[in-house]
Amino acid sequence: MTGAVLVVTAVGAEADAVRGGARDAVHVSAAGVGPAAAAGGTARLLALAEAAGTPYRAVISAGIAGGFDGRAAVGATVLGVRSIAADLGAESPAGFLPVETLGFGTSVIEADGELLASLTAALPEAVRGDILTLCTVTGSGATAARLARAHPAAVAEAMEGYGVASAATAAAVPFAELRTVSNPVGPRDRASWRIATALAALTKAAAAL
């Protein structure tokens, strides 16, 4: 398959980290924070490329993330088998109801199998699992425990993957999510975050693209 790969990050620091390791056939853009900005920015880039006659052959959501304790350590690279909108749904007396239960669609988008296999081969030490997308990232141990119970295959959480995946799916372009872990999911202890470590790992992982 011909064409460039589009890598969508949230912020410029992540985009710069990817550019530091990526090859010429990779186009990198920072679309903004959160699933709405990610979806809108990705859809626009895909539409412009299609209109110019140079469609992208794949889309990757990339950046740093929080890792679930015991599943993805700080500094690890993670590959999303599925991108899950973990807070898309409704509250109820019985607890959180995902959007599927409400009958309004799906909160889960699977990565393209061929693309994921290619990334796994290029990054054999990467941790594979589900990556959660949240509009409000976790800031307490109780929320981290609840999410870990609800999503036993989740290895990390971030804020954009499901948005990028939604735009890619609508455009019928293969999608995957790649992240590097800067901090544990749980209480917000900025002193323990290792953002520089995660960005360096992102640059290294980007060479696989």
User: Residue 195 has what pLDDT?
Assistant: 95
| pLDDT confidence of residue 2 | 67
Residues in the chain with pLDDT < 50? none
Residue 50 is predicted with a pLDDT of 95
State residue 66's pLDDT score. Answer: 97
User: Would you state the pLDDT for residue 95?
Assistant: 87
- Write down the pLDDT at residue 23: 85
Task: Report the pLDDT value the prediction gives residue 58, as an integer from 0 to 100.
Answer: 97
Tokens of 93: 């007396």
pLDDT tens per residue across span 43-91: 999 999 999 999 999 999 999 999 999 999 999 999 999 999 999 999 9
Question: What is the pLDDT, as a whole number, of residue 94?
Answer: 87
DSSP letter for each residue of 4-58: PEEEEESSHHHHHHHHHH--TTEEEEE--SSHHHHHHHHHHHHHHHHHTT---SE
Structural domain boundaries, residue 58: 5-206
Q: Provide the CATH number for the domain around residue 187.
A: 3.40.50.1580
User: Based on the structure, what is the number of domains in the chain?
Assistant: 1
What are the φ and ψ backbone dihedral angles of 20, each rounded to 5 degrees?
A: -65, -20
Cβ count near 67 (within 10 Å): 28
